[in-house]
Amino acid sequence: MSELHQKDYKPGCTGPLNGVRVLDLSRLFAGNVLTQILGDFGAEIIKIEPPEGDTLRGWKSAGVETHWKVYSRNKKSLCLNLRDPRAAEIIRRLVPSAQILIESFRPGVLEKMDLGPELLLDINPALVVIRISGWGQDGPYAQRPGFGTIIEGMSGFAAINGFADREPVLPPMYLADGVAGIYGSSAAMIALREVERNGGRGQVVDLPLLDPLLAILSPQAANYRLTGKVKPRTGSRSTNSAPRNAYLCSDGRYVSLSASIQKMAERLFRSIGRPDLVEDPRFRTNADRLQHADELDAIIGAFIAQRSQAENVRFFEAAEVTIGPIYDTQQLMEDPHVIERELIADYPDPEMGRLPMHHVVPRLMGTPGSVRTPAPRLGEHNRALLAEIGIEGSAFEALAETRVIAGELA
């Protein structure tokens, strides 16, 4: 078994976003992905948590807050009871020092807390306010709860995911939230660039979970308009090219194979000892192959089934046919490419000794990001952050005693 690279935190490193302060009032996954990306590149992320902590703290594996630890690296924690008007006043006093504020309450809740965008932009005209929700700040569904699972169903993703003879398949991970978080980090930088370029006002970014997922689902609407047909579920096959599928190997593992261009398909046929298929009318063109995908998969599948996953990968790579292993997590962590490029590395962790985390993405060669600090303890930065706005000593103790401030109070 290969060992992952061991990395240490780099507290002194800066990145291209050094000097950008982000107030993150969001909960759950999308906002935490967004701020994890910004934090990796040097932004100061102030995670404003309720007394019970961000919801991610409760997503545990073997009793360890793995989601929180991975997606809240490079962040600070300020623990406030936002139901108390005094907590909202603390937010307002922090706003002048921030460039970005992120929230994920149901539309209208921020306004009820006297923290609506108009007020925030009056305090800090250059502020970028990112509002994460399920469905958007307006529209007939704005007030509906909007968890990612519901979005993944309604967006059309689940309807095309899975096999035609079975139920639609929801993703086994936080797809809608993750895509929204990635889009959100881009939106934050676009809006911030506008402020810096024109010396202009900040603005509100309306970031529903639904919109970004729709955006990556390819031209489904255009295809339907042109053909009148809804894209079916095709398992691991493609409706655009063949062969393309997941194939079972002799050791019970799978490989993914794609021959989406004509030369690759011909190379594949010759490599398995079937040059006759190149001129076979069933498989001569991509359109022919799509029409006879069952027969084609049977031929390719029979060849692959005689070899193990590793043997298939070696064989087809030698033939310059596009193939890859379908890994589980253990295999991925042991892969030499993953290890050499440090796609996953072990960082110090007070509970586990070392904790594997993903590399900073994307990889900038001139101004790379870094993992500088572990995920914070609940309220770890209460005193330091509130001291900046003059809340210390007896004033701090009074707010702690009335539980406006929670978490770590030492």
What residues act catalytically? 177
Rounded CA gap, 107 and 97, in Å?
Answer: 25
Strands (DSSP E) along 221-263, which ranges? 244-248, 254-258
Rounded CA gap, 315 and 182, in Å?
Answer: 37
- CB neighbours (10 Å) of residue 328? 9
Q: Are 37 and 181 in contact (CB under 8 A)?
A: yes
Q: Tokens 């609407």 sit at which residue?
A: 221
Q: Tokens 């042109």 sit at which residue?
A: 226
Q: Which residues of 357-396 are buried (b: 16+ CB within 10 A; e: fewer)?
A: bebbeeeeeeeebbbbbbbbebbbbbbebbeeeebeeeeb
Rounded CA gap, 3 and 386, in Å?
Answer: 42
Q: Are 186 and 112 in contact (CB under 8 A)?
A: no
Please, which residues bridge with residue 46 across strands? 23, 76
175 burial (CB, 10 Å; 0-12 / 13-18 / 19+) is: buried
Please, which residues bridge with residue 47 across strands? 24, 77
Rounded CA gap, 228 and 3, in Å?
Answer: 52
Rounded CA gap, 211 and 141, in Å?
Answer: 13
- CB neighbours (10 Å) of residue 142? 16
Rounded CA gap, 61 and 59, in Å?
Answer: 7
